Amino acid sequence: MREIFEAELKQIGDDLVAMSRRVEHAIGAAGEALLRQDLALAESVIADDLAIDALERDLDERCVLLLAQQQPVATDLRVVVSALRMSATLERMGDLARHVAQVARARYPHPAIDPALTGVFTEMNDAARRVAQRTTQVLTSHDLTEAEGIERDDDLLDSLHEETFRVLLGGTWTGTPQQTVDVTLLGRYYERFGDHAVSVARRIVFLVTGDFASETRTR
Amino acid sequence: MREIFEAELKQIGDDLVAMSRRVEHAIGAAGEALLRQDLALAESVIADDLAIDALERDLDERCVLLLAQQQPVATDLRVVVSALRMSATLERMGDLARHVAQVARARYPHPAIDPALTGVFTEMNDAARRVAQRTTQVLTSHDLTEAEGIERDDDLLDSLHEETFRVLLGGTWTGTPQQTVDVTLLGRYYERFGDHAVSVARRIVFLVTGDFASETRTR
């Protein structure tokens, strides 16, 4: 019984890693589509999001079956419940990558990002990619230094997000309303991406250390 | 054993309703703070969001304990897992109300909404309040006609959201970048509010009818 449980739990962990790898790929591709006006890449991110959604459904179904058949308690139960929540978070990260790709597609062949902000969004995209890679790492290895790296990159995303507002609201911005709308939404998508990664990281820290405060700290 | 389970499940249902009532109050108050520049009301929405977050934590803990102690299977299990997900969704709706209130607070004593858009945001706020009231109703009564009403109001929120873009991008918009940013973010908050309510409604429809397609329909 215990062996079956361990095997199924390992499968759930592998599924989370597979979802996270897809999210990692999606955010990288979405950023490239955005910064290089790559329509085909944007289309592929949008289409592939359905696969991430399907992985979430499969993973959730697996978790519910595991709860029903193995009736885990204590830490085992918390691991399964955390997996359910992390799959929802990863799915949401996939949605955000899709939203970025949709902006890139809507503006094609023009760039959605005004030259005044290309540098900031290049940095945001780099930070988001790192956050996604670290999320896969933390799910794979439960390495808490990766979790700390996610917190740092999330702080960086927050300050880059504030930087977008400084550019938009500093009095020298001459972009069109469409450009203002795009920067506002894209900035928010990237900022939320960091929040979601932090949520996954804190759940892992909680599972590894039992430090509940780290999971529930108010953001 | 069954009686204890039923009592605990009822408590979880009551907690969800209590959360939903608080969210309903928060969105109504946030909208009023936004449309009438009521700083005290905005502050109260921001402060009260902590209570919604606390309710989510309590409810989740209750669900995990119920899973551990009662080891439900089949429909009972799905009800508990759905409660976990609905509490996360309601918490997110509370966050969105807080975000609306934060915009109202940041612009005070000025209105965040340009007169050209007051009508649209008044309608959005009305639709969001209805959606919140219907969410409480559907959680209380499992009345599927309320769930249909949520879908309709969500469609209305989507079309009002599009209307904000028509105003911003129609060529006659003369708002400042700050006003453009505010309308963009507020429009998105209201639109997301409908999505979350639909998610709660579909979970209830699923629990009542077993129609899994209704729960997982891609948005």
Please report, as a single letter, which amino acid is at residue B10: K
CB of A185 within 8 Å of a chain B CB? The answer is yes
Does residue B72 surpass a pLDDT of 80? yes
Indicate the DSSP class of residue A37: T
Q: Looking at residues B36-60, what average pLDDT do you find?
A: 97
**Chain B residues within an 8 Å CB radius of A185:** 184, 188
**Chain B residues within an 8 Å CB radius of A84:** 81, 84-85
The closest CB to that of A73, out of B68, B78, B85, belongs to B68
- So what's the pLDDT on residue B215? 52
Question: What is the residue extent of each domain of chain A?
Answer: 2-216
CB of B126 within 8 Å of a chain A CB? The answer is no
- So what's the pLDDT on residue B211? 60
CB of B192 within 8 Å of a chain A CB? The answer is no
- pLDDT tens digits, A42-99: 999 999 999 999 999 999 999 999 999 999 999 899 999 999 999 999 999 999 999 9
Q: Tell me what percent of the residues of chain A surpass a pLDDT of 90.
A: 89
Residue with tokens 């309510």: B197
Q: At what angle do helices A74-107 and B74-107 cross, to 10 degrees?
A: 50
Contact B178, A170 (CB under 8 A): no
- So what's the pLDDT on residue A208? 86
Does residue B99 surpass a pLDDT of 90? yes
- CA nearest to B72 within chain A: A68
- So what's the pLDDT on residue B124? 98
| Residue closest to B60 by CA, chosen among A176, A81, A139, A115 | A81
**Cα–Cα dist A42/A101, whole Å:** 5
CB of A71 within 8 Å of a chain B CB? The answer is yes
**Chain A residues within an 8 Å CB radius of B64:** 77-78, 81
CB of B178 within 8 Å of a chain A CB? The answer is yes
**Cα–Cα dist B136/B89, whole Å:** 13
Does residue B213 surpass a pLDDT of 70? no
Contact A74 B68 (CB under 8 A): yes
Average pLDDT of chain B, as a whole number: 94
**Chain B residues within an 8 Å CB radius of A74:** 68
Q: Which of B46, B55, B184, B195 to mutate to test the interface with A (most CBs of A within 10 A)?
A: B184
CB of B47 within 8 Å of a chain A CB? The answer is no
CB of B166 within 8 Å of a chain A CB? The answer is no
Does residue B212 surpass a pLDDT of 60? no
Contact A64 B73 (CB under 8 A): no
Please report, as a single letter, which amino acid is at residue B142: H
Contact A16, A88 (CB under 8 A): no
Residue spans of chain A under pLDDT 50:
213, 216-219
- So what's the pLDDT on residue A130? 98
**Cα–Cα dist A88/A75, whole Å:** 20
CB of A206 within 8 Å of a chain B CB? The answer is no
Q: What is the interface pTM, i.e. ipTM, of the complex?
A: 0.92
**Chain A residues within an 8 Å CB radius of B88:** 85, 88
Average pLDDT of chain A, as a whole number: 94
Contact B67 A78 (CB under 8 A): no
CB of A64 within 8 Å of a chain B CB? The answer is yes
User: CATH number for the A2-216 domain, one of 3.90.600.10, 1.20.58.220, 3.90.226.10, 3.10.450.40?
Assistant: 1.20.58.220
- In terms of C-beta distances under 8 Å and separation of at least 24 residues, what long-range contacts does B42-51 make, across chains too? B42/B101, B42/B102, B42/B104, B42/B105, B42/B108, B43/B101, B43/B105, B45/B97, B45/B98, B45/B100, B45/B101, B46/B98, B46/B101, B46/B102, B46/B105, B48/B22, B49/B94, B49/B95, B49/B97, B49/B98, B50/A218, B51/B22
Q: Looking at residues B114-138, what average pLDDT do you find?
A: 97
CB of B54 within 8 Å of a chain A CB? The answer is no
CB of A57 within 8 Å of a chain B CB? The answer is yes
Q: Look at A189-193, B52-56, B69-73, B121-125 and tell me which has the smallest mean pLDDT.
A: B69-73
Q: How many CB pairs under 8 A join A and B?
A: 67
Q: How would you write chain B as a 3-class SS string?
A: CHHHHHHHHHHHHHHHHHHHHHHHHHHHHHHHHHHHCCHHHHHHHHHHHHHHHHHHHHHHHHHHHHHHHHCCCHHHHHHHHHHHHHHHHHHHHHHHHHHHHHHHHHHCCCCCCCHHHHHHHHHHHHHHHHHHHHHHHHHHHCCHHHHHHHHHHHHHHHHHHHHHHHHHHCCCCCCCHHHHHHHHHHHHHHHHHHHHHHHHHHHHHHHHHCCHHHHHCCC
- pLDDT tens digits, B147-198: 999 999 999 999 999 999 999 999 999 999 999 999 999 999 999 999 999 9
Q: Which residues of B10-29 are buried (b: 16+ CB within 10 A; e: fewer)?
A: eebbebbbbbbbbbbbbbbb
CB of B1 within 8 Å of a chain A CB? The answer is no
Contact B88 A88 (CB under 8 A): yes
Contact A50 B81 (CB under 8 A): no
pLDDT band, residue B218 (cuts 50/70/90):
very low
- So what's the pLDDT on residue B2? 83
